[in-house]
Amino acid sequence: MAFVTSLVYLSTIVVFFFGQLLRIELKGISFPVIDIFIGLIFCLNIFQKIKNKDFKVKNKYLLYFLIFAWFSFVFNYFRYHFDLIKPILYLFRLTFLLSFFIFPPKLDEKIKKISYLGLFSNVIFGLVQYFFWPDFTSFKSLSWDPHLYRLVSTFFDPTFTALIYLFLIIIVFLDKKFPLRIPVLIISYLALALTYSRSSYLCFFVAFTFIAYQKKNLKIFILSSLLIFSTIFLLPRFEGEGTKLERTSSITAKVENYKEGFNIFLKSPIVGHGYNNLFYVRQIKNQNSHANSGFDGSLMTILTTSGIIGLILFLLGLKKVFISGNLVIKTILISLLLHSIFANSLLYPWILLFFIFL
């Protein structure tokens, strides 16, 4: 059984590396291969808990949230009579991911180290993509954002990519014994910088401000501040809107997105509209868009899909994770919460899965 578990985790690390490159289309539903491995890890973890008779709940609030999310889903199914297959698959994925916080799996330290190696390999791939294939505008035909001169790596999105790289930077920085620590930090930061993700720059600043405060080290704050502000001024500005850090179009779009989300929340403030059912209540012109079922902010997505009750339970669950976590987890969670104001990063499968390897 130990061999099977290790094999699944190692395979997950490989699939994680390939990101959105590995996708399957089945009966009109497209989903990343990582979803399959999330399900496999869930099954292995539950099997181990049953075998060891270890049913202690580590995070009751996230458990209550999932129960309420399923209630909201069923309630809204009879309300909207939506197509069941796609939304329920996404709710299953969310259930599997959050279960890792409720019943944390035990992970071998070797697997953790290999996962960091796999993530750094993705950083290298991202740099290769940036310098040799910087034009992703053709991906617009596949309903992805048309990024130009930005590092997107295998996740096809600079914002999510930058946040995942920031997680790696935090881990490496706080681990003084990490192999080739300084080169890894330099290369990873370069990759983060080339995403041109302003929200991730802000998260970097806040993360290292928090680390400096916790360690009572003013030097960390000064050096990290100088680094991020120097990056902002020194980064080259190429053709296209994406590399213009002073751009305002995306800010305006996010404000409108939040307005739409709040108006939808008011239509069903208590139980929401059901997870991944927002397509049925939103006016989406592009039915194949990868952003149909969520808003630019994760908490807004939670609020609209599971109502005020679901949001409160979800936040209490995150508070529990923060309180019980070490400095790495606390710093990453702060970064993630801040980032989730600007993107749906709290519900991004690669990001939630990353917590397993912590």
The CA distance from 133 to 58, in Å, is 44
Average pLDDT (164-184) is 96
Q: What is the mean pLDDT of the chain?
A: 89
Which position has the higher pLDDT, 186 or 243?
Answer: 186
The torsion defined by the Cα of 47, 51, 56 and 57, in degrees rounded to 10, comes to: 0
Residue 336 confidence (pLDDT): 96
Say yes or no to pLDDT of 29 above 80. Answer: no
Confidence of residue 30 (pLDDT cuts 50, 70, 90): confident
Say yes or no to pLDDT of 289 above 60. Answer: no
Residue 252 confidence (pLDDT): 81
Tokens 């390897």, residue located: 357
Say yes or no to pLDDT of 281 above 80. Answer: no
Residue 238 confidence (pLDDT): 72
What SS3 state is found at 24?
strand
Tokens 């995403």, residue located: 195
Percent of the chain whose predicted confidence (pLDDT) is above 90: 63
Provide the residue ranges of all domains of the chain, joining segments of one domain with +.
2-248+290-357
Tens of pLDDT, residues 201-221: 999 999 999 999 999 999 999
Tokens 């899965």, residue located: 353
The CA distance from 123 to 138, in Å, is 22
Residue 242 confidence (pLDDT): 59
